[in-house]
Amino acid sequence: MPDLIEDLRAALGETAVITDPDLLLGHQRDEADLCPAGVPAVVVRPRSTADVESAVRLAARHRVPVVPQGARTGLAGAANAVDGALVLSTTAMAEIVEVDRVNRIAVVQPGVVNATLAAEVARHGLRYPPDPGSWESSTIGGNVATNAGGMCCVKYGVTAEYVLGLEVVLASGEVLRTGRRTAKGVAGYDLTRLFVGSEGTLGMITEITVSLRPAAEESLTLVAVFDTTAAAGATVAEIAAQGLSPSLLELLDQTHLRAIEAYRPMGLRDAKALLLATADTGPRAAADLDRLAKVCVAAGASEVYAASDAVEAADLLRARRLAHPAMEHLAATSYPDGHGGLIIDDVAVPRDRLATMLDGVDRIATEHGVPIGVVGHAGDGNLHPNIVVDRADPASVERGRRAFDAIMELGLSLGGTCTGEHGVGLLKRDWLAREIGPVGVRVHQAIKAALDPTGLFNPGKVL
């Protein structure tokens, strides 16, 4: 290992190579609770593709595994280090290389923060729609590696819809360029899509070309109050059946509403469930929002409230973005000495099975004796059950894990998937195998073997 570190410093410079023990500990893991993590031997902060090439070639020569990391906001353990690894951190690769208004594209390095890109392209009258909950801190490289979603997926889709091309350093140290800058292009296999969502297991992404859209029109927001989460889920199915296309359709259950109020009081109603809906159709937004309100009332909403102005609408969206830190605070304060933790699930089901899924989560919480709060992108059937456990109590953790597995099993039985947007990482390897079957597993393994025959990149993740 000293030889590797010496070689890295010679190739990349002293400041790019980190060996301080405290800083190494800070690069152990992402935000997934209860996933194992090792201690890296060294953290490298490259500034260019050439730096990444050098680091990867040296790691391969010294037979040291490479773990790519971005902002470490992931929730599946995909960025967790293994003992003795070389962590490649993208935090210094944060340049917006180009914004092209005519072709509506941006070219960025992987360490660019999502919100930073959104603000920059807005100056050009454009928009980058993917908006994961961690958009103010998560990076585009991490978003691409996990195929991140967000609150606007119901209308605009996930990250993969916006990635036109990539630059990737392979395990051999070679640089692969995929995709294009054109609006259309079908030459060869879609290698870009292969790397989107690969969670750093196939190569290190060093540059990303994304498509942009015109800036959004004026939007309006409403809140619908329901007596049960299942009723809110049934309303989502009815909104889809009516052919309506809100730009956002989010669900918050009572556990989350109370957690947000305790974490940062905002005057939220203490209801069993809320649906938060937005129409971003400019002059048509008021009429579109009225149609959404009528569907909610007909489906059993006890109250429907439209935000009076943009400030109030922004407050509602801010409350939704506080869901995760609020639940972390709730978990920490639920047990002595801050030992509370979250097992965060991420299951997606067809919209017409959403009510069944929500009822099932309630039943699972009761059967296993663990608190479970549900929040999610209801408009596309993607739910995040948050299971609260006492990390100091093995029995509590075990009940939480059993509840997690029961939720996974229910989701797959309803025709769903084990992860809608958080990825597989360490958390869901077994469930991925169950979902894709033995043939799917063999195909995944064959792709990994073709691109990374020595298992250099992100060992132990996904499969």
Per residue in 139-166, pLDDT tens? Answer: 999 999 999 998 999 999 999 999 999 9
pLDDT at 316: 86
What span, in angstroms and rounded, lies between the C-alpha atoms of 444 and 449?
9
DSSP 215: P
Q: Which stretches of the chain score pLDDT less than 50?
A: none
pLDDT at 66: 98
pLDDT at 178: 98
pLDDT at 133: 85
pLDDT at 314: 85
What span, in angstroms and rounded, lies between the C-alpha atoms of 432 and 161?
22
Q: What is the CA radius of gyration of the chain?
A: 22
Report the 10 Å Cβ neighbour count for 246: 27
pLDDT tens for each residue of 111-120: 999 999 999 9
Nearest alpha-carbon partner for 137 in 117, 107, 123:
117
Max Cα–Cα distance, the chain, nearest Å = 70
The strand pairing partners of 252, in sequence order, are 274, 375
What span, in angstroms and rounded, lies between the C-alpha atoms of 154 and 250?
9
pLDDT tens for each residue of 231-284: 999 999 999 999 999 999 999 999 999 999 999 998 887 899 999 999 999 999
Task: Name, in order, each residue with C-beta under 8 angstroms of 389's C-beta and a sequence gap of 6 or more.
Answer: 34, 331, 340, 341, 342, 343, 370, 396, 397, 399, 400
Could you tell me if 457 and 171 are in contact, meaning their C-beta atoms sit under 8 angstroms apart?
yes
Q: Which domains does the chain have, with CATH numbers?
A: 2-89 (3.30.43.10), 96-214 (3.30.465.10), 220-413 (3.40.462.10)
